[in-house]
Structure 1
Amino acid sequence: MSKSAIDTNDAAAIQAAQDSVAVCDRSFCGIIRVSDDDRIRFLHNQTTNDFQSLKPGQGCDTVMVTSTARTIDLATAYILEDAVLLLVSPNRREFLMQWLDKYIFFADKVQLADVTNETATFNLIGSESDTILEKLGAEAIIGQPYGTHQLFDGGVRVAVGSGLALPGYTLILPASLKATVWEKIVEAGAQEMSDRAFDVLRILQGRPAPEHELTDDYNPLEAGLWHTISFNKGCYIGQETIARLNTYKGVKQHLWGIRLNAPAEIESAIAVGDEKVGKLTSYTETADGYFGLGYIRTKAGGVGLKVKVGETEGEIIEIPFVSHEYPE
């Protein structure tokens, strides 16, 4: 499917995620296992969130950034008794293995392993996800805080959070169980969702992705990832830049959704009148029309702002995954 068309199966899956429940096979996403005695301190020092406050069975979203606070990837971390599992973007897994390894010094007790090929990862998305868990015998996790996870019979780890700003769960399981568990989930009533449909939903939800919204051009505050950042945890890579941007209200642009009245090209300039105010970073067609994500200069405005994206008219709207200030 091209970005300019959406088929009926994908449309049905997106609708199910918004109204009932869909399941998407995300096994191509990366899973990095971080183990040994210094794993928590190490991840605390390499990423934006506060790992030292987390206990086994808990989890969080966190961002890997460069020394100048440019975004590398948005990851979800799950704290186990003897390791941490990092769920990372598929096109960042090899880079992150090398990047993290670079910061392991001689005395550090940290082991990295790419366990992607040994595991399968599913996202359950939608308000009726709980009914699927009940049928899987995993109802004990229902109602727990975001990132909470538990290992159930058969080796299926279920974590709270769909990967989007919709209710749901992430399942991580041995690759050998993939076909069996998938079949159980579909038989229990979940609509199958393709990777294409997930990407459409990602854009509608406003989840930033590497090579689109997460690049050397943007920092996590601009990307709307305030919920992944601890401002009082102390030093980590990129911390000084992020602290300064927050203290001095220095965020010069924000990620927004853009409802478009015609197709548009990624990388197109976003303008108000004759003035360029931003750039389109993702684009899709949906059953309801055309939609994109883009960075808009803070001073230009926000929700309701009328813009031109290339030659296309558009309007700025809110997207549920991001926030533009620190959550209270």
Structure 2
Amino acid sequence: MATASLSITQLSTTSKPCLTRRSIYFISPSYFRSPQLLTSNQHSFAFSKQIKRPLNIISAANLPFDLSPPPIDHDLLDTAISAGAIVSEDGIAKTFNNDDEALDTVDKGTVVVDLSHFGRIRVSGDDRAYFLHNQSTANFDSLLEGQGCDTVFVTPTARTIDIAHAWIMKTAITLVVSPEISRSITEMLKKYIFFADKVEVEDITTRTKFFVLVGPNSNKVISNLNMSDLVGQPYGSHKHYSVNRMPVTVAVGNILSEDGFSLMMAPAAADSVWKALLSQGAIPMGSNAWEKLRILKGKPVPGKELTNEYNVLEAGLWNSISLDKGCYKGQETISRLITYDGIKQRLWGIHLSSPVEPGSPITVEGKKVGKLTSYTATRKNSGHFGLGYIKRSGASEGDTVTVGDNIVGKLTKVPYIAHQRQPKQKAKS
């Protein structure tokens, strides 16, 4: 049997990045319309760790790069099903029947997760940076092409809508957002475009695929695929590559952590990229295990930890917030909360004695101090874990609480919240 070949090329740069307050240059729309994309689907999607593919990578930061649909859409789900995956009606691989193995591998190897159901939004036009600067919490004026950040969309009263992962490209800014809120964020952004604004907002979710790599061996996987120039770069840094003449963007970070990597690509490139990652020892993880990992890591999501009941500081999202960039939606409320120490509750991880339904009250000595927002059984179903908001005066790390009627819980920090860096308070005069 012949060994399939995967050619990964990092496209070379010829011009310098340029950014002003109202202008960040991105990549132009012709690349995905190239006749080079008219490639037939000649590969089967075997999930085999034994297939080795030679890679030859070249850097592409300034070549034309857009996210128009390719002429041929390879169906990754057909491959998943043939490999034994259980796929939901809405096309999400729920499990590869290896959930415990995948969760164990997160600590000692590498997993790859298809998160193509997450939203991707493309914001273009000369005013895109200025626009997002005013609509979310991060300082987009400080970012250059090839960099990235997390930013939070909030209401005028700083209630959290979603955490977005932003990549600053040549002619656009790409946002990765939660799947359940993607459409409403797109509509919200379009609503705030004024007549004179040079901004276009486009949902590109169905025209792209999106994978993440999680685990301590992710650097090795990326290096073996000739993308070692990304290893050690700051969170959000990204580069553009060509896989079999089709564009792929690879970024540092994986939504749950500043470690690992994210990969966005044309659907026609997805089979080659997926097989290349598996060939380097990554194992596939389904969405069921991903949700369990999400809770264990403590990442808040819309509809659970991110609702109108909680503000952005109670969710602990300090890394996504600029405190000195000037006016933006929710800025006044955030400033008051910080100035007057108005953060009344915070998000905790909770080790639980038994299963319990999200929404259950959390009490201490019979007094309600909070609410459980997420629950999961731990690996191999040997324990129980949840996330919940608790009043600052109600309990602290290591304390015992009661969840629901009689479930015992013990409070613990979770990695996603623990790595958030709260700024030092200015000394009062």
Q: TM-score, length-normalised on structure 1?
A: 0.96
Would you say 1:142 and 2:214 are equivalent positions? no
| Separation of aligned partners in 1, 2:413 and 2:102 | 22
Would you say 1:304 and 2:398 are equivalent positions? yes
Q: 2:129 aligns with which of 10, 27, 40?
A: 40
| Separation of aligned partners in 2, 1:7 and 1:132 | 21
Greater Cα offset, 7-16 or 64-73: 7-16
Structure of greater relative contact order (alpha carbons < 8 Å, 6+ residues apart): 1
| Separation of aligned partners in 2, 1:112 and 1:35 | 7
Alignment check: 8 A CA contact 1:127 1:166 kept: no
Which residue does 1:86 correspond to in 2? 175
Which residue does 2:422 correspond to in 1? 326
Which residue does 2:373 correspond to in 1? 281
Q: For residues 118-156 of structure 1, what are the alpha-carbon distances to aligned partners after superposition, in whole Å with 9 as ceiling and x for unaligned?
A: 111001001100121123221111110001000012311
Which residue does 1:67 correspond to in 2? 156
| Separation of aligned partners in 2, 1:145 and 1:166 | 8
Q: Which sections of structure 2, spanning at least 5 residues, go unmatched?
A: 1-85, 87-94, 425-429
Which residue does 1:197 correspond to in 2? 289
| Separation of aligned partners in 2, 1:166 and 1:128 | 14
Amino acid at match of 2:402: K
How far has the Cα of 1:51 moved from its partner? 0.5
Would you say 1:216 and 2:308 are equivalent positions? yes
Alignment check: 8 A CA contact 2:235 2:258 kept: no
Amino acid at match of 1:236: Y
Greater Cα offset, 75-84 or 162-171: 162-171
How far has the Cα of 1:284 moved from its partner? 0.2
Q: For residues 81-137 of structure 1, what are the alpha-carbon distances to aligned partners after superposition, in whole Å with 9 as ceiling and x for unaligned?
A: 110000000011110111011110000000011001111100100110012112322
Alignment check: 8 A CA contact 2:119 2:179 kept: yes
Q: 1:164 aligns with which of 244, 251, 256?
A: 256
Q: Which sections of structure 1, spanning at least 5 residues, go unmatched?
A: none
Q: Percent identity?
A: 48
- Give 4+ residue runs of structure 1 displaced > 6 Å after superposition: none
SS of corresponding position for 1:308: strand
Alignment check: 8 A CA contact 2:96 2:285 kept: no
How far has the Cα of 1:78 moved from its partner? 0.2
How far has the Cα of 1:18 moved from its partner? 1.7
1:255-270 matches, cutoff 5 A: 255-270=347-362
Greater Cα offset, 215-224 or 165-174: 165-174
Q: 2:204 aligns with which of 102, 108, 115?
A: 115
| Separation of aligned partners in 1, 2:193 and 2:421 | 33
Alignment check: 8 A CA contact 1:18 1:166 kept: no
More strand by share: 1
Q: 2:118 aligns with which of 29, 39, 49?
A: 29
Which residue does 1:54 correspond to in 2? 143
Alignment check: 8 A CA contact 1:227 1:327 kept: no
SS of corresponding position for 1:113: strand
Q: CA RMSD in A?
A: 1.5
Alignment check: 8 A CA contact 1:36 1:111 kept: yes
| Separation of aligned partners in 1, 2:111 and 2:273 | 14
Query: How many corresponding residue pairs?
Result: 324
How far has the Cα of 1:19 moved from its partner? 1.5
| Separation of aligned partners in 2, 1:123 and 1:149 | 13
Alignment check: 8 A CA contact 1:16 1:22 kept: yes
| Separation of aligned partners in 2, 1:103 and 1:7 | 41
How far has the Cα of 1:327 moved from its partner? 4.7
Would you say 1:240 and 2:308 are equivalent positions? no
Larger Rg: 2
Which residue does 2:267 correspond to in 1? 175
SS of corresponding position for 1:153: strand
Which residue does 1:105 correspond to in 2? 194
SS of corresponding position for 1:258: strand
Q: For residues 198-241 of structure 1, what are the alpha-carbon distances to aligned partners after superposition, in whole Å with 9 as ceiling and x for unaligned?
A: 11011000000000000011111000101100000000001000
Amino acid at match of 1:286: T
| Separation of aligned partners in 1, 2:255 and 2:356 | 26
Would you say 1:206 and 2:298 are equivalent positions? yes
Q: TM-score, length-normalised on structure 2?
A: 0.74
| Separation of aligned partners in 1, 2:164 and 2:407 | 33
